Amino acid sequence: MEKRNHTRILEFILVGFSTDPQLQYFLFAIFLSIFKISLLAHMFIILLYRFSPTLHTPMYFFLANFSILEICYMSTIAPKMLINLLSQQKTITFHGCALQMCCYLLLGSAECYMLAAMAYDRYNAICHPLQYNHIMRRFVCLMLVLACWFIGIMVGVLQTILIFSLPFCGSNRINNFYCDIPPLMNLACNNTQFNEIIMLIITFLIIVGPFILTVISYTNIIRTILKNHPAGMRKKAFSTCTSHLIVVSMFYGSAAIMYLRPKSNYGMDEEKFLSLMYTVIAPLMNPFIYSLRNNDVKNAVKKVIGEIGIALHDNR
């Protein structure tokens, strides 16, 4: 007991990307710009959904909830990452690290299933248009969103308890820019085989499972479009589905590679690059791929701007 208390870690050091101050300032500017653009884009989608009755459909209900998840997801990691890029002391407390991991896993897991729910919504809209309003009624949409949050909470709490119940001793340097499972398991004193098995099981349930459901949905969508729609609509729909699948594959694929690798294969540069893909790049691309290119959104923007212009004119 005395030895364990003596070696108990009270804080961690987040190694980050580089020790070169000039490079850190450059990365700070880049990541701050990405964070601001992503934040504004997702807030814009939420506000547009709130104030545009024409967008009160299941599709945009899911997109608005997805944007809420993305804002929380980015805010869990980006602020601390940006602070550390300008700080000499890149530390995070033991409990702060646990809280960051719990929130990150919770939101990331919920996102995985939210993407699958969005794909399921599009599948019903295109493949079952006559039954769409009955299948995707408001109660069903609400239950799907709540289920995503419930799954996220279960995964976040379970994984955080399992990881932070491990004894950490010796080095407290986390080889990443946030508290993630693989680099933390590298710091554990005990054998982490049980944790690795649990992580593999959860990864299959949270990442591989929803990804397969998403691919099945889009495959059926593309098949229906090719069979029942004219050539012009086929090209547009195929382009949209392809862009969705690219972003989804990038998010699911990088996360799956990160968590499905054996512990012995964890590498410094690979971890950080993969982490960037699903924590920074994907949240930036999602609003532009899923929402801001849609004609419905463009029309809603024009309508809101017109109403604001009329209101300002009347006030004068």
- Domain count across the chain: 1
**For position 7, what pLDDT does the model report?**
55
Angle of the 21-51 helix axis to the 58-85 helix axis, nearest 10:
160
**For position 309, what pLDDT does the model report?**
63
pTM for this model (two decimals): 0.87
For 75, the domain range is: 2-315
Q: What is the CATH number of the domain that holds 42?
A: 1.20.1070.10
Q: What does the pLDDT profile of the chain (316 residues) look like in tens digits?
A: 344 444 577 889 998 887 777 888 898 999 999 999 999 999 989 988 888 888 888 988 998 999 999 999 999 999 999 999 888 888 999 999 999 999 999 999 999 999 999 999 989 988 888 899 999 999 999 999 999 999 999 999 999 999 999 888 778 888 888 998 888 888 888 888 888 888 889 989 999 899 999 989 988 988 888 887 676 666 666 766 777 777 788 888 888 887 877 655 555 567 777 788 888 888 888 888 777 667 777 777 777 677 666 665 566 6
Closest CA to 146 of 69, 41, 75, 51: 69
Closest CA to 192 of 258, 257, 263: 263
Closest CA to 77 of 111, 48, 46, 117: 111
Q: Determine the Cα–Cα distance for residues 165 and 150; give it in Å rounded to an integer.
A: 23
**For position 188, what pLDDT does the model report?**
86
**For position 147, what pLDDT does the model report?**
96
156 and 105 Cβ atoms separated by less than 8 Å: yes
**For position 11, what pLDDT does the model report?**
87
